[in-house]
């Protein structure tokens, strides 16, 4: 590398440092004039504002830091629900688009084109206006008299809190993990002995049976809280606010269109020869799917899907347009009330960056596990 290259770099770096120092100096002057001390000490001061809905208890006498935490949890809550919903819908739509049934394929592709080619923000606001113009609770749109849709959001039946549910859930997770281990063991033993061990029904029994047994054993609670109209609103069940519901719909219906395209491309990337070859070596249809189609399709699907999930989490910041108290929205309030613009925006950006990096690295790990193992 010649002298000129080093000189160039030195010039660029010093120019950037110079401009940055100049700007920071300006900002400090402005802050001093307004009498605002820089630093993160303000986070422990009293917030003095309320947040509409929070997963953790929050009052206006709590600190800015707690407001921050509540906002992050709101962002994560809407993102996780949306990712699950978008993935399920996207996979169904993607498979439907490849269906030999022309009507189903056309309907699915109409959905994809419609939702992909309109701005997500307009979609979110559109859902919000629809929900807020729904009838009042007294004339609620009833879904089988179990769930009710009103201008105050959606209420659904929800199991009454009982430790038995937690144990049942744990049993289910445990059974799933065990089932995976059993499949691995069966594969390994087949490789060793050449004899096929059928474990499918054992696994079905395990996954269905274990949670059921735990549920029965812990007293078989069946109490489900069904929402009932009382006065002007519903009590009981689990309620979703109009803001949450609109953002959930706006995020998941939009991303589902992109997931559908990714799933379609993934399945189409498997050439017909692969399926014919697996039939030729006498693989069963389930083995063909599990060992030939899925691993290869996943390899194509995982990286773009990860990018879509990151994009979904970032776009949850659009909740600000309809007043859902997610990170960006609450941060705006913090900026206005505390005056610590630079610190608050810096913290918010660092938080989004961290979430994006965490999703990216989880997906990278997963991606590594489905990549071609070259031996």
Partner 1 sequence: MTVANTISRAEVGASPRRPPPAQESGAVHWLKKNLFSSPFNTAMTLLALWALFVTLPDVIAWAFLDAIWRTDDPAACRAAAGACWAVITEKHRVILFGTFPYEEHWRGTLAIVAIVGMAIISAFKRFWSAWLFGAWLAAIGIVLVLLLGGVFGLTPTGTHQWGGLPLTLLMFVGTVVGGMPAAVLLALGRRSSLPAIKALCVGFIEVVRGVPLITVLFMASLMFPLFMPEGMTIDKFLRAQIGMILFFAAYAAEIVRGGLQAIPRGQYEAADALGLSYRQKTGRIILPQALKIVLPALMNDIIRAFKNTTFVSIIGLFDVLGATATALEDPRWVLYAQEAYIFIFVLYFAFCYSMSKYSEHIERDLSKGRNL
Among 76, 91, 92, 107, binds partner 1 (CB under 8 A): 107
| Structure token pair of residue 263 | 């799933």
Q: How far apart are CA 348 and CA 356, in angstroms?
A: 12
Using the contact rule CB under 8 A, the part of the chain among 57-65, 179-187, 236-244, 311-319 near partner 1 is 311-319
Contacts of 256 (CB under 8 A, 6+ apart): 85, 86, 87, 89, 90, 93, 115
From the CB of 91, what's the least distance to partner 1, in Å?
A: 16
Among 3, 5, 57, 198, binds partner 1 (CB under 8 A): 5
Among 357, 361, 362, 371, binds partner 1 (CB under 8 A): 357
| Structure token pair of residue 290 | 């599990």
| Structure token pair of residue 344 | 């608050």
Q: How far apart are CA 252 and CA 79, in angstroms?
A: 9
Among 43, 318, 334, 347, binds partner 1 (CB under 8 A): 318
Decide if residue 116 touches partner 1 (CB under 8 A): yes
Q: How far apart are CA 128 and CA 320, in angstroms?
A: 12
User: One symbol per residue from 28 to 47: x for binding partner 1 (CB under 8 A), - otherwise; what is it?
Assistant: -xxx----------------
Among 59, 101, 230, 371, binds partner 1 (CB under 8 A): 101
Nearest to 293 by CA among 309, 280, 277, 308: 277
| Structure token pair of residue 240 | 């979703």
Decide if residue 363 touches partner 1 (CB under 8 A): no
| Structure token pair of residue 268 | 């189409």
Other C-beta atoms lying within 10 Å of the C-beta of residue 59: 12
Using the contact rule CB under 8 A, the part of the chain among 81-89, 101-109, 165-173, 179-187 near partner 1 is 101-109
From the CB of 30, what's the least distance to partner 1, in Å?
A: 6
Q: How far apart are CA 264 and CA 25, in angstroms?
A: 53
Decide if residue 314 touches partner 1 (CB under 8 A): yes
Q: How far apart are CA 231 and CA 249, in angstroms?
A: 28
From the CB of 279, what's the least distance to partner 1, in Å?
A: 19
Among 37, 353, 361, 364, binds partner 1 (CB under 8 A): 353
- CA dihedral angle for residue 118, residue 122, residue 124, residue 130, rounded to 10 degrees: -110
Burial 74-88 (b: 16+ CB within 10 A, else e): bbbbbbebbbebbbe
Decide if residue 356 touches partner 1 (CB under 8 A): yes
Number of residues this chain uses to bind partner 1 (CB under 8 A)? 54
Among 109, 233, 317, 338, binds partner 1 (CB under 8 A): 317
Residues that bind partner 1 (CB under 8 A): 1, 5, 8-10, 12-13, 16, 23-24, 26-27, 29-31, 99-104, 107, 113-114, 116-122, 125-126, 129-130, 133, 314-315, 317-318, 320-321, 328, 332, 335, 341-342, 345, 348-349, 352-353, 356-357
């Amino acid at each position: 590398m010649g002298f000129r290259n080093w000189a160039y770099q030195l010039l660029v770096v010093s120019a950037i440092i110079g401009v940055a120092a100049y700007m920071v100096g300006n900002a400090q002057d402005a802050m001093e004039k307004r009498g605002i001390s820089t630093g993160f000490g303000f986070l422990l001061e009293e917030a003095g504002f309320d947040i509409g809905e929070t997963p953790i208890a929050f009052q206006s006498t709590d600190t800015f830091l707690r407001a921050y935490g509540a906002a992050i949890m709101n962002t994560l809550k809407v993102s996780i629900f949306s990712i699950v919903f978008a993935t399920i819908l996207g996979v169904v739509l993607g498979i439907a688009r490849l269906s030999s049934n022309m009507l189903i394929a056309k309907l699915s592709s109409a959905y994809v084109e419609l939702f992909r080619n309109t701005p997500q923000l307009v979609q979110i606001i559109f859902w919000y206006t629809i929900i807020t113009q729904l009838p009042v609770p007294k004339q609620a749109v009833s879904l089988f008299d179990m769930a009710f849709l009103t201008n105050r959001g959606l209420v659904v039946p929800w199991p009454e809190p009982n430790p038995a549910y937690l144990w049942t859930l744990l049993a289910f997770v445990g059974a799933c993990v065990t089932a995976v281990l059993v499949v691995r063991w069966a594969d390994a033993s087949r490789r060793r002995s050449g004899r096929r061990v059928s474990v499918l029904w054992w696994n079905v029994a395990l996954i269905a049976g274990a949670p059921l047994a735990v549920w029965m054993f812990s007293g078989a609670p069946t109490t489900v809280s069904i929402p009932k109209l009382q006065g002007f609103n519903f009590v009981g069940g689990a309620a979703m606010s109009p803001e949450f519901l609109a953002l959930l719909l706006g995020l998941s219906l939009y991303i589902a269109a992109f997931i559908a395209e990714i799933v379609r491309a993934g399945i189409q990337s498997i050439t017909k020869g692969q399926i014919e070859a697996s039939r030729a070596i006498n693989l069963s249809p389930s083995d063909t799917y599990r060992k030939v189609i899925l691993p290869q399709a996943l390899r194509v699907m995982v990286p773009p899907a990860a990018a879509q999930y990151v994009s979904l989490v970032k776009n949850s910041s659009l909740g600000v347009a309809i007043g859902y108290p997610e990170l960006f929205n609450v941060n705006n309030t913090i900026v206005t009330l505390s005056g610590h613009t630079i610190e608050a925006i810096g913290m918010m950006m660092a938080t989004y960056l961290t979430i994006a990096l965490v999703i990216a690295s989880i997906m990278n790990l997963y991606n590594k596990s489905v990549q071609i193992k070259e031996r």
